[in-house]
Amino acid sequence: MAISREEQLKILGRMKDSDIDYTDAPATNADFWEDATVNIPLVKVPVTLRLDPNVLAWYKQQVPRGYQTLINNVLQKYMTDHQA
């Protein structure tokens, strides 16, 4: 029987850094991080949005947990594609 996500998170939370196996992670150096940027996500604004039932059902079917994020991403893409 597989353990739940919550149980996995509890196990990971109890791990020490020294318990983590990094052998399959490639080493990095200053060149690797040279163009790195920190992207702090914007704070989401709660809104009430009226959608057709079939539209909402389709998004929920695509991503049952995270459909609002998917809708936001679609709107974000539309916005950036149509900016002057």
16 in any annotated domain: no
> Is residue 40 classed as helix, strand or coil in its secondary structure?
coil
8, part of any domain? no
In a domain, 70, yes or no: yes
Q: What is the mean pLDDT of the chain?
A: 93
Q: Quote the pLDDT of residue 2.
A: 87
With respect to residue 55, please indicate whether it lies within any of the assigned structural domains: yes
pTM as predicted: 0.53
Asked if 61 and 71 count as a contact pair (C-beta separation under 8 A), the reply is no
Cα separation, 55 vs 66, whole angstroms: 15
Residue 67 belongs to a domain: yes
Task: State residue 84's pLDDT score.
Answer: 76
Q: Could you give the number of structural domains in the chain? A: 1
Which residue range forms the structural domain that includes residue 48? 44-84
pLDDT digits (tens, 9 = 90+) for 3-30: 899 999 999 999 999 998 989 999 999 9
